[in-house]
Each structure stands twice: as C-alpha cells, then as structure tokens.
Amino acid sequence: MTIEVKVNDSSLPLRRDVKLLGKMLGDILINHSGSALFDKVEKIRLMCKTLREHFDQSIYDALKEEISSLDAPMRKQVIRAFSMYFHLINAAEQNHRMRRRRQYQLQEERVVQPASIESAILLLKENNIEEDVIQNTLNTLSLELVITAHPTEATKRSILEIQQRIAEILKNLDHPLLTRRERKKLEESLFNEVSILWQTDELRQNKPTVLDEVRNGLYYFDQTLFEVLPEIHQEVAECLEKNFTNAQWEVPNFLRFGSWIGGDRDGNPNVTHDITWETLKKQRRLVLKKYKNALVDLMKRYSHSTSRVEVSNDLLTLIEQEDTYLTDDKKWPNKGEAYRRAFAIIIERVKQVGKTDLGYKSADELLEDLNVIKRSLKKHHPSAHELKTIQKLIRQVQLFGFHLATLDIRNHSGEHEAAMTEILRKVSITENYAGLSEEEKLKILQNILLDPRPLLLLNEDYSAETQEMIKVFQTIKKAHEEFGKRAISVYLVSMTKSPSDLLEVLVFAKEAGIYRLHADGTLESHLHVAPLLETIDDLTAGPKIMETLFEMPVYRNHLQILGDQQEIMLGYSDGSKDGGTLTANWKLYKAQIEIHEMAKRYQIGLKFFHGRGGSLGRGGGPLNKSILSQPAETIGDGVKITEQGEVLSSRYLLEDIAYRSLEQATSTLLLAVTHISKEAEQGFQRDPIWVETIEEISSLALTKYQSLVFGDPDFLTYFTEATPLRELGDLNIGSRPMSRKNQGRFEDLRAIPWVFAWTQSRQLLPAWYAAGTGLAGFVGKGEQNLHILQDMYEKWPFFRSTIDNLQMALMKADITTAREYLSLVEDQTISERIFTNILEEYERTKEILLRITGDKELLDHTPNIKESVFRRNPYVDPLNFLQVELIKELRNQGGSNEDLLIEVLLTISGISAGLRNTG
C-alpha cells in the first residue's frame, strides 16, 4: 500500500519509510491470499483517498457497495490489512522522531534543539540567572509521573514489541555507511518482522488480570525508564558544569516515576490487598534484578589492582566483611582486585534482600557501600574525568530504592463511608454514620483521632467489604516495614465531596498503626491523604473543603508531621464528562489558583496531581504543554501527572523517545519555575479581563453541554446506539469494569469508555462539544471581544493550550464518517435531531477557532501533526465503514455471533491504532 500527501521537506525520510513498509505489507498480502486481497484493499483505499480529496456521491455509493459485498473471510482480512498498516505507520513515526533528534545532535555545535535541557540551561545563562538561584530552583524542582492501567494500551504487548523491533531496524537503515550487503540484510529482517506482524493475533483472548497489567507497566521500567531517568539528571549536571564553570553543582532527584497499577481500587474489585502486596513484590524483584545486572557489569569493569592504586580504608573495611556474607566459593579469588571483592559482597547482599538476614535491610545500606566505592575511586582516578558508571548506579538506587516506583492507593469515598458506618455501628458510637450531617461526622472522626485507644473490635465479625478495607491499611503498614515508606506514601480519595472523606482515611490509618497518637501526646503519621476533585461541583467546593481541614488542629498536626505538605489530585475525566471540556479545564485551573492562595495563608506547601488521560477528552496532550498549561504560580509547588496506559508505548517504548519526552518536560519545568520562559511570565500576568472572559465563556459552554447531555431525554439512547459502547466491554483491554456499579446509569459510566466510544465513532464529542457556543457567544456580544480572545491566545499559555487542543480534537473528528453511525440508532428521528445539533456545534466551533488563531485551516501551526492526520485518514475511513456494517449485523443477531464480534473488535483495535487514541 502507498500514500501520497502534501508534505514538508523534513518528512521526506518518513515518507520513504512508510512507502517501504507499505510495499512490504502489500507483498505479504499477495503472498498470504494472492492478488485478490491486495487488489480489494487497494480499491477500497483509493476510493477513500479520492473521497477525502473531493466528495463524489457515485464513488461514495460504490464504496458502500464494495464494503457491504465483502464475504466474511475476505472482510476480516481487509480489516486486518488496514489495521496492520497503522501499526507500521506508528513504528515509522516513532523512528522519525528519533531521526529528528539525532539530526539535532549531529549539529549540536551550531544548533541546540528546542526544548532540550541544553537549551534551558543556555537560556538561564543568557538571562544572567545567578548560580544560587538555579541551585535553589533545582532543590525545589519536582516532577513525578505516575503510570496507570486505564485505559490499558489497546495494542497487545507482542504487537508493541514488533513495532519496537521495526523502529530499531529503520533506525539502522539510516546509517550512512551501510554496505549494500548490510542494507539487504536489514531489509530482509524488516520484511520478516512485517510478516510476523501480519501473522500475529492482534486481539487478546482473555481479559487481562491486574497482575497482567502490573507486568505491562513494569515492562517500561525494564526497557527504558531504569536507564533514562539517571541520564536526564546527568544531562542537567553536565550542562550546568559546562555553562557555569565557577559553581559546584548538586542535582537532586527531581524526576521520579510512580504507579497506580495494583493499587487503584476505585471501581475495580479485582484489586485486593493481596494483589497490592504481590505488586510490591514484583516491583522489588525487578529493581533488584536491575541492580544485580548493573553490579555484575561494574565488577567486570573495575579491575583495578591494589598493586597499581591505593584504595581507601573504608573500602578495605568493607572487604573485611567477606567471611560474614560470602562462602568461599562466592569470594572473588584475586585478593588484589579490591573493587571486585567488594562487588562480590554487594551482589550477594542484593540477592538476599527479602530472603535472609544477610540481605540489605534498606536501599540506604546499599547506597552506603556504593558510596564507599565511589569515594575510594576518587583517590586514584583522574579528577577531571569522573567514573560515571558508579554514579549512575548510585542515582538509580536513590531514585528506585528497593520499591522501584511509589505505589499510590486509591479508593472511592463511598467505600470508606460504608465501612466506617458498619464499624461505628458495631462499637455503638452511632447507628447510622452515613446519615449524619457533615458537622456531626467531623466531630466523631476528630474524637476518634484524638483518642489513643483502638477503635476496632478484634473479635467482631465485619462484612467482607469492611474486612478488605481494614486489610488494605494493614498491608500499607506492612509495606512500610518491608519495602520502606516510599513504597506507598499517598492514599487518594476518589469523589471527595467533604472534609470527612479525608478524615475517614486517617481513622483507618490509625487503626493500622500508620497514624498513631501515643499516650504522651506525641504523634506519628506516615501516609499522605489526598482528595481527588473531579466533578464540576467538587472542583468548585475544593477550596472550602481544604480550608476546613486546614483549620482543624487534628489535621494540621498530621500535616505538620509530614512537613506541612498537602497533595491534591485534580480529575480531568469526570469533570469533562460532567460539564464539557472547556468548562472542566477552566474549573480545574481556577481551583488550583484558589487552593494555592488559600494554602499560602496557612503556610502549607501543595503538590497538584493532574489526573490527565491520554486522549484529548480526558486532558491529554504533550507532557511539556501539560505543564505549561497550569497556573504559573503553582508549578513551583511540584508537578505530578498521570501517564495513562495508552500513551506509555508512544512515550516510553523506545529509549530515545523516552529521553526526549522527559527532557522536554524537564526543560519546560526548569524554565517555568525560574520564570525565564515567556509562557511562565505571561502566566503570571493574567489580565483580570481574561479571567472575566473565560468565566463568561465557561458559563455559556456549560449550559450548552448540559442541555444536550443531561437535558435531552434521548441523549443516552443516542450515545449507546450510535457508538460501539456496548461492544467495547468485549475488547479485553483492562481489568476494571466499564461502570462503577454496572447499573447502566450515565453517572456510573466511567469516563474511559465514554471517551473511547465517541472516539471510535469519530465524533470525539467530549473533546470539543459546547466550546464553540461559549466562544462564539462571547464574540457575538461585541466585535471587540474577538480581539480579547486573540490577545488571550497570544499571551496566555492556558488559553492557547485549550484552543490548540480543541483544534486537534476537531481535526481528529470526522463528521462525514460520524454520520455513518446514525444508521445504528433504531429511532432515526432521535439520531437526526441530535446529530444535527452536534454538526451545527462542530461548524460553529471550527469557525470561531479559526477566527481566534487567524489560521486558514485547523492546525496550520503544526504541519507535522496535520500531515500525520491526513496520512492516516484514508486508512481509518474503511475501518469505520466496516465497523458500522458489522455492528448493525451483530446487533440484529442479538450480539450472539462470535465471529462477527471478533470482526467488530478488530475494527475497534484498528481505529485505535489509526487515531492513536482509545479513551
């Protein structure tokens, strides 16, 4: 298969790769099924391409006839052919990103890549930022990225691994000194990988378990993150030393990764305390394996002989422990190779961690021994050339400890309340805690926290749910003892609606000994409790909820033990589902400002945790732009962001891309915190008129959004019938149910399938709907209002990010294709009425966005992204057409035809790969 689109010169190598891969896929189709399959795929592709260039009703009718006339065996292969093409395009685009980075690196004496660490340090120097200011900035810099399993990557691991190998071969084909024989060998390997891809089943046969998801998450730590994170820190140190030669730099561990996988219990009954414990053990096993491999490598390298160099007394003392930790067969045989003797001890102690008393009790003990080696090396190694291999391992131990990634625990506030109600009834404190007023709840909870005595009746029988709740907190306590307190440091409360939601968690922590008031009045507290503010109402109430807690002595004492630091999570998914993307984003932004200002009055430090999804409808977008879109004054508090399952492969599957993604984020954060970047300065200079304007726009958009989603009695019918929502549950992409309570209510539907279904039908409604009404309504009140919006777009990073994301959403949406899904709605009057509403809003939104940006077409300012969308559309379209036909047939048969269902799922997987989005 081939494709021709208007391109810029920088993408010519990408076009070459796509053409090569497309030809190979075509050859494989012919080899597999003869020319009939290839000819059919080409015919459908060319029809779709022609329709994209110029709509022709006769061609459109012929295309529909061509698709409907496919027999089942051919139809399935056609679906697979288009889907496989996207996997190849994704691999080619990944390689092209790496290629562009290498091109900058080849010119780095003359050209510094934008948004690189080097460019950030140079800007600091050009702006005459003093060394102590930079060091203080580094000391407060904090970026934590948290991987999650939802939405789980729709693409199977085996497919991702093939993509990884294809990208690596394409990278090698770029080598300028390849011989003809070497090129031929690489192309043969590439063909074989494409062939394997075609012959690999792209659908999971079974729904993944939570531990499957844990293994998927650990894959990225194993493949890239363990190596890349210390390299980012090292790059910062080297750039500072190069450009500020008079200072001694200390680069703290400002960039870390955490995880939700195995700890996120909200709506997922499969995440039990046992699963959490097994997750922690799997994380430790991986990190110890990585340390052992690194130590073995260092042992091979550090062959220094005491006949040539003088080692430190501390190292000799370390070696003297041989008899304690090593049997004779494990001791290093050459007595003069002091470092190898020391490494033999360290390796054995790492192997014994968690198994015997000979193992290290903590990562700090391992660090002590590694630092003994480092200090000894400094005695004899040339001072201008540090041995960075040992420093890299030290950094890794500092970053990953014996726990690898901090595991957050999350559960729904209603679950805590239900368990607390049962417990308080059992101990005769109150018969119906859940029915009390908030004031009454707070009084009871504070009294419990101020009483050193335990609350639980050890001999009492509680319900299974309450017992599980208690065991979770006991598991956290046990984890602190076994893996260290960094293993689990935050407990998140979903759907926080009142202060009692957080105090309930503290009571459970008290009963497990994580929060403990001693008889002499001293307090221990080892677990941060963070609210998750999600809905529009909760975001509005957020500042008052936190102020109430900050006023409570019992809560303030808890915070004081934790360094007066409070984490607050902001949910982008349910807020958008509840009030539309524009209103949700403004309410999130506004809540941050208000909570930040309020916390300053109480001298409490904040860390905002942004629960962004991978897709635009759930706050997705490039990592560095996500950082800049926050209120500038909050960035210095520390930034924590979720990295959803569907973006992990695009950001962290390949080491070069993982590095580039993280260096962009580091560069952005460093400049924003020092207020050097233009975006940060503008963020601080919010014009009051802008705030008034976005308030008005938000109000108009909210009314429009809710009038459709909640005000139209037929909307839920339209959504469930005009999208593949019903079929998504069979895709086996995640361990968690699609609804919190499986009751079919809109309120219980998770944001992930909500967004996923709209994306599949190419309407992408959650990512843009109602924004046009808000923006155009404001402009309609006076022509000068357009100039205000244009000024906001030019000068306010938050507004620019919002507008650019709306453009991206409209670009990925396709109203012509979306119209095909109307035939799935039983009552056509409903589908026509609601779709007409959506179509009018789409056109309204597109028109006002172009007026604000001054562009002629959407995404004119990002030609690479625009070209990628154009490149993909002729291949996504057939999958959408096929999906509609298949869903119609499947539903007519009552959803019981297994073969039809598999074909539907193949289209869902293919469209996800084509749009690079699920939910």
The residues, ordered by sequence, that sit 6+ positions from 766 with a Cβ below 8 Å of its Cβ are 576, 577, 580, 581, 617, 618, 751, 754, 755, 758
Q: Are 686 and 693 in contact (CB under 8 A)?
A: no
Question: Which one, of 899, 906, 772, 758, lies nearest residue 842 by Cα?
Answer: 772
DSSP state string for 823-864: GG-S-HHHHHHHHHHHHHHHHHHHHHHHHHH--SSTTTT-HH
- Ranges assigned E (strand) in 661-765: none
DSSP alpha helix (H) spans, 150-272: 157-173, 180-198, 210-220, 226-243
Q: Are 767 and 805 in contact (CB under 8 A)?
A: yes
Quote the CA–CA distance of 723 and 730 in Å, as a whole number: 14
For residue 151, whether the previous peptide bond is cis, meaning omega lies within 30 degrees of 0, is: yes
Would residue 577 show up in a list of annotated catalytic residues for this protein?
yes
DSSP state string for 206-221: SPPPHHHHHHHHHHHI
Q: Which residue has the tokens 């009834």?
A: 425
From the CB of residue 775, how many other CB atoms can be counted at a distance below 10 Å?
A: 29
- Catalytic residue, chosen from 40, 87, 96, 150, is 150
Quote the CA–CA distance of 600 and 578 in Å, as a whole number: 30
- Ranges assigned E (strand) in 52-127: none
Quote the CA–CA distance of 562 and 525 in Å, as a whole number: 7
The side-by-side arrangement of strands in the sheet containing 255-259 is 406-407, 255-259, 143-147, 639-643, 605-611, 565-571, 528-533, 490-494, 409-412
Quote the CA–CA distance of 67 and 443 in Å, as a whole number: 66
Would residue 526 show up in a list of annotated catalytic residues for this protein?
no
By CB atoms closer than 10 A (0-12, 13-18, 19+), residue 243 is middle
Question: Which one, of 619, 583, 617, lies nearest residue 774 by Cα?
Answer: 583
Q: Are 348 and 326 in contact (CB under 8 A)?
A: yes
- Catalytic residue, chosen from 510, 577, 587, 812, is 577
Q: Are 162 and 196 in contact (CB under 8 A)?
A: yes
Structure tokens at 828: 């056509």
Q: Are 907 and 79 in contact (CB under 8 A)?
A: yes
Quote the CA–CA distance of 460 and 462 in Å, as a whole number: 6
Per the rule left: phi > 0, alpha: psi between -120 and 50, beta: everything else, 155 is beta
Quote the CA–CA distance of 738 and 896 in Å, as a whole number: 20
Catalytic positions, please?
150, 577
